Structure 1
């Protein structure tokens, strides 16, 4: 897959969902300044990442005190939570999160595409 095969329109539905979550948070979170809102949403990514770490430890039984307390399905769910949380944070700081995401994804894919394929 090279960068030209990416279709930004494919992310429309994803960002529709992200914007539903962002709007709900905007309407239901405690009163915050814009900078507090951004800070809380970025910090939430760290919280979700901690949950991924806990799930990996649980899926592998790495903590002998807790044993196998999670499954790999739990890890998948937590990874999805990290991705959604990051996209909500992006939508909070960017006036066009989809465009920002698509541009960055394009750049990262192009880095992996040999020049002769571009």
Structure 2
């Protein structure tokens, strides 16, 4: 289980426990975190679960694959270093303390 902090664009923080094996998106969805829409349900077929990974965590999350890179082209104001789709980040104990910030909007 990992404690993950979701930061809304306004700065409001939500700290939740997310079980190992779930995705960061599922943790947001199951805890009613605003700002992550997840329209495709985690199929990496949209960009509505886009977040910016805290700079301290960029090198600690698993690398993006080509499909995620392609979908991030459709995200709102993607950052080449920090942008991720939360449906593609599987939770493990190694992600305990992860911080992600939502963009101003999802598209």
TM-score (norm 1): 0.25
Query: Which of structures 1 and 2 has the bigger CA Rg?
Result: 1
Question: More strand by proportion, 1 or 2?
Answer: 2
Higher helix share: 1
